């Protein structure tokens, strides 16, 4: 691309001369020149024939590299100035021609204005008649549109009445559903309160049952330990009185050995029962701090351990009775042996307390509590079923309430939209009435004037 540039020469740092080209303008493809907007300098060494500040012409490629020789710009500048001078002369000639055309057009415009005044005078009556006809046509059109808008307004008003009736029905249905939901929630709350109360009663009943069972167990132990046992002729007193003393001594020794084995076995079972009770207590303590998932596992484990404890209790009751029977048999053998040996002892004459009536009474109370527990658990199960049914009913009612709410909102929106449409139509009808009435009055007045002039 061809550029117009100014040559700049400056002294270097070590005494040399630095030469640069400052780009001023560039020539486009249409041969026109434009100023370089951004200040750009190009370093060069081919400047010995030019002085500082000289105007030169140089060709640069896309990389801003100098192509060819640097030429003086004087001749090109003179050609440009000459061309610009010719353009100025030609522009002045064209301005003179334009002034002549303007004067000619002014004369023609004055003639046209005169002819237009004449035409306007001749067409005035025609224009008035045409305007009257146009106004009359417009009046008819507005009258027709007014009738259409009035009819549409009547239909829209009827639609609003229907929408309001639907809205009222939806409102009543929504309020009815809301009342049903509130009533069902109240029923659910009452049932849940009853359920919690029954649960508390069941817990108290379980505690009472446990207390009765523990009391029954203790009294049973006491009955066994107090010797309240009937041997049912298991000891033949007559045979013991008549058998040799040595044979009787041997029987007593065997009974002592058997009794020792039974005592050890019963003690082991007692220790196992004690450990079982500790395990149950630990599970009950951990149940209160357990989460929902762990609670289910702990409750099942607690039931299993309690069942095991019950089996141990039942087993130990028989074992304790057997132990006491063995002790009583040994006591009677020893008493006969000591008496035959001439030993006087009063330790075997302990009085026996009959605890059977108390045990029977506790058993009856226990059975009554078990019956009450069964009935209470049945009631609780029925209440749980009722609660589930109420919850299902409540879910369906809430779903229906939500649907009714959506219908109500939709009807409210449709009713509001219908009212807006009525308001818009009322506004349009009012506008057409304001247009048509004055227009009709004006047309009637013009018609009367035309009739007076004899135009119609």
Name which of 441, 220, 181 is nearest 318 in CA terms: 220
| Residue 94 counted as domain residue | no
* Cα 13 to chain centroid, rounded: 77
Name which of 119, 327, 349 is nearest 229 in CA terms: 327
| Residue 233 counted as domain residue | yes
3-state secondary structure of 117: helix
Give the pLDDT confidence score for residue 122 in this predicted structure. Answer: 46
DSSP H stretches of helix in 226-244:
237-242
Report pLDDT digits (tens) over 405-452: 898 888 888 888 888 988 888 888 888 778 877 877 787 777 777 677
Q: How confident is the model at residue 254 (pLDDT cuts 50, 70, 90)?
A: very high
Which residue range(s) make up the domain with 51? 2-72
Give the N- to C-terminal CA distance of the chain in Å, as an integer.
82
CA distances to 4, 379, 390, 391, 401 from 190, rounded to whole Å, are 102, 15, 11, 13, 22
| Domain-ending residue, one of 318, 351, 384 | 351
Give the pLDDT confidence score for residue 126 in this predicted structure. Answer: 46
| Residue 303 counted as domain residue | yes
Q: Is 64 left (phi over 0), alpha (psi -120 to 50) or beta?
A: left
3-state secondary structure of 24: strand
Q: Is 352's pLDDT higher than 70? A: no
Q: Is 402's pLDDT higher than 80? A: yes
* Sign of the alpha-carbon dihedral angle for 368, 370, 374, 380: positive
| Residue 20 counted as domain residue | yes
Query: Which of the two residues, 252 and 294, has the higher pLDDT score?
Result: 252
The CA distance from 194 to 182, in Å, is 18
Cβ atoms of residues 78 and 57 within 8 Å:
no
Give the pLDDT confidence score for residue 388 in this predicted structure. Answer: 93
Query: Which of the two residues, 409 and 294, has the higher pLDDT score?
Result: 409
3-state secondary structure of 73: coil
| Residue 428 counted as domain residue | no
| Residue 23 counted as domain residue | yes
Q: Is 349's pLDDT higher than 50? A: no
| Domain-ending residue, one of 72, 95, 129 | 72
Give per-residue burial for 302-331: e unless 16+ CB within 10 Å, then b.
beebbeebeebbeebeebbeebbbbbbbbb
At residue 384's C-alpha, the angle toward residues 381 and 388, to 5°, is 140
Give the pLDDT confidence score for residue 456 in this predicted structure. Answer: 58
Based on its alpha-carbon atoms, the radius of gyration of the chain, rounded to whole angstroms, reads 64
The CA distance from 198 to 377, in Å, is 9
Cβ atoms of residues 89 and 31 within 8 Å:
no
Point out which residues pair with 17 in neighbouring strands: 11
Name which of 170, 241, 230 is nearest 414 in CA terms: 170
Number of domains in the chain: 2
Give the pLDDT confidence score for residue 369 in this predicted structure. Answer: 85
| Residue 177 counted as domain residue | no
pTM over 0.85: no
* Sign of the alpha-carbon dihedral angle for 171, 177, 183, 185: negative
DSSP code, position 18: E
Report pLDDT digits (tens) over 192-239: 999 899 889 889 988 888 888 778 777 766 665 554 455 555 678 888
Cβ atoms of residues 82 and 74 within 8 Å:
no
| Domain-ending residue, one of 351, 367, 393 | 351
Name which of 156, 172, 174 is nearest 414 in CA terms: 156
At residue 225's C-alpha, the angle toward residues 219 and 226, to 5°, is 85
The CA distance from 240 to 338, in Å, is 12
Q: Is 46's pLDDT higher than 60? A: yes
| Residue 161 counted as domain residue | no
């Amino acid at each position: 691309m061809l550029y117009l540039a100014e040559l700049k020469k400056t002294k270097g740092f070590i005494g040399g001369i630095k030469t640069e080209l400052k780009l001023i303008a560039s020539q486009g493809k249409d041969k026109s020149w434009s100023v370089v907007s951004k200040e750009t300098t190009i370093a060069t060494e081919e400047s010995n024939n030019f002085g500082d500040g000289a105007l030169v012409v140089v060709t640069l490629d896309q990389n801003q590299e100098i192509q060819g020789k640097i030429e003086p710009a004087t001749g090109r500048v003179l050609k440009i100035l000459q061309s610009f001078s010719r353009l100025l002369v030609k522009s002045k000639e064209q301005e003179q021609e334009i002034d002549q055309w303007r004067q000619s057009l002014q004369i023609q415009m004055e003639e046209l204005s005169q002819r237009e005044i004449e035409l306007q005078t001749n067409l005035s009556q025609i224009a008035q008649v045409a305007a009257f006809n146009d106004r009359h046509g417009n009046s008819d059109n507005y009258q027709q549109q007014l009738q259409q808008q009035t009819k549409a307004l009547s239909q829209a008003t009827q639609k609003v009445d229907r929408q309001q009736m639907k809205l009222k029905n939806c409102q009543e249905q929504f309020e009815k559903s809301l009342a049903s939901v509130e009533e069902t929630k109240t029923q659910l709350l009452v049932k849940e309160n009853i359920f919690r109360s029954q649960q508390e009663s069941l817990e108290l009943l379980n505690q009472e049952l446990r207390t009765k069972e523990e009391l029954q167990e203790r009294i049973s132990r006491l009955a066994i330990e107090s010797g309240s046992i009937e041997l049912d002729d298991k000891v033949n007193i007559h045979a013991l009185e008549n058998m040799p003393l040595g044979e009787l001594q041997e029987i007593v020794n065997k009974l002592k050995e058997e009794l020792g084995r039974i005592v050890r076995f019963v003690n082991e079972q007692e220790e196992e029962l004690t450990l079982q009770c500790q395990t149950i207590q630990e599970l009950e303590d951990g149940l209160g701090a357990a989460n929902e998932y762990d609670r289910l596992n702990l409750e099942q484990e607690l039931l299993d351990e309690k069942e095991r404890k019950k089996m141990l209790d039942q087993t130990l009751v028989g074992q304790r009775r057997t132990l006491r029977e063995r002790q009583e048999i040994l006591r009677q053998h020893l008493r006969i042996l000591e008496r035959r040996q001439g030993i006087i002892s009063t330790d075997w004459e302990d009085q026996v307390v009959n605890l059977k009536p108390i045990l029977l009474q506790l058993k009856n109370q226990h059975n009554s509590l078990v019956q009450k527990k069964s009935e209470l658990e049945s009631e609780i199960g029925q209440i749980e079923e009722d609660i589930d049914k109420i919850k299902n009913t409540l879910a369906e009612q809430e779903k229906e309430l939500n649907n009714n709410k959506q219908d109500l909102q939709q009807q409210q929106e449709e009713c509001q939209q219908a009212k807006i449409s009525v308001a818009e139509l009322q506004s349009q009808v009012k506008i057409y009435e304001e247009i048509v009435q004055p227009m009709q009055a004006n047309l009637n007045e013009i018609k009367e004037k035309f009739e007076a002039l004899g135009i119609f």
